[in-house]
């Protein structure tokens, strides 16, 4: 059984964990557009491919799937998730299962305004959000929201181009220099990350790992501590089931005075997933079971709490 990891980038641990779980019973093949993506060199085989936006990209990935007899394919970056999902039938014809949610859900997760509207419609706590700055100013005057706020791209990832605004002048400057922006309430509570696996056969949530984020770097969790709360587990199960996610997802949540606010969802492995794996939540094993036709049993909260994760830099030298 061979697995293809697309856009591997710096996610060395993800590749390592897949190799460890396969235990030599298959190959891990990785792709990236850059030969300087270090995770490539953790894989059994790797390919340098075009940008995901270039014509013929998906044909190239399908060629790799056929050549390497790939059983399953997944991506580690948000913009590629929809692309894989919308070509699911073509991958099936090539003998590969796309590990991920539907195209519609991937697009909703990428579009933060659509996600906000969905969360409001279904009654989940979330940060107040505005795409019309005039409506935001009116909300400030009514006292519905106050400064500071975040200004961010409606479609974006990895915390790129996010700015904190403390006054109207700053918002005017930001909106004058970029389009496709939105204004979001600044949540000041404890930020939480949840690594979740939804079984691809039973469609039930079978694993949840939650951590309190201590330090963030470049939009990813750098230091965190694990914890458990049955109330949060129940909320995540309800949300995931109602939305219809499948496979691996990463959820950002805030604890605001005892109330949980859902912030964002990445329908892929998040940068903080190694914390979950090292605490016993082997989602690679759950994926492998599904690919073998085995539905996984529920393992929600089966890990130690008060376990700290601390990332540090490593180096790969290549000629």
| Per-residue model confidence as pLDDT tens digits over 45-54 | 999 999 999 9
- State the Cα–Cα distance between residues 247 and 99, nearest whole angstrom: 6
Task: Calculate what percentage of the chain has a pLDDT beyond 70.
Answer: 98
Paired sense of beta strands 70-75 and 181-185, if any: unpaired
Find the mean pLDDT for residues 92-104.
97
* Per-residue confidence band for 220, with pLDDT thresholds at 50, 70 and 90: confident
CA distances to 118, 150, 246, 277, 301 from 145, in Å: 20, 12, 34, 39, 35
Instruction: Please compute the mean of the pLDDT values over residues 281-297 and round it to a whole number.
Output: 97
pLDDT at 282 over 70: yes
Predicted confidence band of residue 158 (pLDDT cuts 50, 70, 90): low
Kindly report the CATH class assigned to 189-310. alpha beta
> Where residue 318 falls among pLDDT bands split at 50, 70, 90?
confident
DSSP letters for 201-267: TT--EEEEEEEEEEEEETTEEEEEEEE--HHHHHHHHHHHHHHT--EEEEEEEEEETTEEEEEEEES
- Please calculate the CA angle 235-267-15 and round it to the nearest 5 degrees: 120
pLDDT band (50, 70, 90) for residue 179: confident
Query: Of all residues in the chain, what percent carry a pLDDT higher than 90?
Result: 89
Tell which wins on pLDDT, 54 or 162: 54
Look-up: residue for tokens 């990891």? 5
Give the Cα separation of 287 and 198 in Å (integer).
Answer: 10
Task: Collect all residues with Cβ–Cβ distance below 8 Å to 275 and sequence separation of at least 6.
Answer: 195, 209, 211, 221, 224, 226, 307, 309
Q: For 229-257, how does the pLDDT look when each residue is reduced to its tens digit (9 = 90+)?
A: 999 999 999 999 999 999 999 999 999 98
**Count of CB atoms situated within 10 Å of the CB of 50:** 13
- Name 30's Cβ contacts closer than 8 Å, sequence gap at least 6: 4, 5, 6, 8, 15, 37, 39, 40, 42, 43, 45, 46, 47
Question: What is the 3-state composition of the chain as percent helix, strand, coil, each rounded to the nearest 5?
Answer: 35, 30, 40
Average pLDDT over residues 72-98: 97
Work out the pLDDT band at 226, boundaries 50, 70, 90. Answer: very high
Mean pLDDT of 271-290: 96
User: For residue 139, what pLDDT band results from cuts at 50, 70 and 90?
Assistant: very high
Q: How far are the Cα atoms of 69, 209, 281 from residue 304, in angstroms, in the given order?
A: 38, 10, 10
pLDDT mean over 24-31:
95
216 has pLDDT over 90:
no
Query: What are the residue boundaries of the structural domains of the chain, listed by start?
Result: 2-99, 128-185, 189-310
The pLDDT assigned to 159 comes to 57
Q: Structurally, what CATH architecture does the domain formed by 2-99 represent?
A: 3-Layer(aba) Sandwich (3.40)
Q: Which one-letter DSSP state was computed for residue 39?
A: G
Residue 92 structure tokens: 């099936």
Asked whether the beta carbons of 92 and 108 are under 8 A apart, the reply is no
Instruction: From residue 184, give the alpha-carbon distance in Å to each of 153, 171, 213, 240.
Output: 10, 11, 20, 23
Confidence (pLDDT) at 313? 86
Judge whether residue 32 has pLDDT over 90. yes
Q: What sign for the dihedral angle of Cα 115, 120, 122, 123? A: positive
The overall average pLDDT reported for the chain is 95
Helices 133-142 and 168-177 cross at an angle (nearest 10°) of: 170
156 pLDDT higher than 80:
no
pLDDT at position 130 over 80: yes
- Is the pLDDT at 160 greater than 90, yes or no? no
Residue 37 banded pLDDT, cuts 50, 70, 90:
very high
Q: Which residues contact 276 (CB under 8 A, 6 or more apart)?
A: 195, 209, 211, 283, 303
Q: For residue 77, what pLDDT is reported?
A: 95
Q: Check residues 312 and 286 and name the one with the higher pLDDT.
A: 286
Name the CATH superfamily, with its identifier, for domain 128-185. ATP-grasp fold, A domain (3.30.1490.20)
Q: Across residues 284-311, what is the average pLDDT?
A: 95
**pLDDT score at 157:** 63
CA angle 256/257/262 to nearest 5° reads 25
What is the DSSP-derived secondary structure letter of residue 307? Answer: -
| Cα separations in angstroms, 151 against 113, 132, 184, 240, 281 | 12, 12, 6, 27, 35
Q: What are phi and psi of 309, to 5 degrees?
A: -110, 130
- Whether 233 contacts 301, CB under 8 Å: yes
């Amino acid at each position: 059984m061979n697995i293809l990891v697309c856009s591997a980038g710096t996610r060395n641990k993800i590749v390592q964990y897949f190799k460890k779980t396969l235990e030599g019973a298959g190959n891990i093949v990785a792709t990236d557009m850059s030969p300087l993506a270090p995770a490539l060199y953790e894989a059994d085989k790797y390919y340098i491919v075009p940008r995901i936006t270039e014509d013929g990209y998906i044909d190239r990935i399908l060629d790799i799937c056929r050549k390497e007899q790939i059983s399953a394919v997944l991506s580690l970056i948000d913009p590629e998730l929809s692309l894989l999902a919308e070509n699911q039938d073509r991958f099936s014809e090539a003998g590969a299962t796309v590990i991920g949610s539907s195209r519609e859900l991937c697009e909703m997760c990428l579009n933060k305004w659509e996600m906000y509207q969905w969360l409001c419609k279904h009654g989940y706590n979330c940060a107040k959000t505005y795409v019309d700055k005039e409506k935001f100013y009116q909300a400030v005057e009514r006292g519905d929201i106050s400064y500071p706020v975040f200004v961010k791209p409606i479609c974006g990832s990895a915390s790129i181009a996010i700015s904190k605004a403390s006054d109207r002048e700053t918002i005017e400057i930001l909106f004058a220099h970029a389009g496709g922006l939105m204004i979001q309430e600044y949540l000041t509570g404890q930020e939480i990350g949840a690594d979740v696996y939804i079984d691809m056969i039973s469609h039930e949530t079978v694993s949840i790992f939650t951590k309190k984020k201590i330090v963030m770097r470049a939009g990813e969790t750098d230091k965190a501590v694990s914890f458990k709360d049955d109330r949060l587990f129940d909320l995540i199960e309800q949300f995931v089931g109602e939305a219809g996610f499948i496979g691996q997802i990463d959820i950002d949540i805030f604890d605001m005075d005892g109330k949980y606010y859902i912030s964002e969802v990445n329908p892929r492995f998040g940068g903080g997933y190694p914390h979950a794996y090292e605490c016993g939540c082997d989602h690679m094993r759950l994926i492998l079971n599904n690919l073998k036709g085995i539905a996984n049993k529920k393992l929600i909260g089966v890990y130690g709490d008060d376990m700290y994760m601390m990332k540090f830099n490593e180096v790969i030298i290549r000629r």
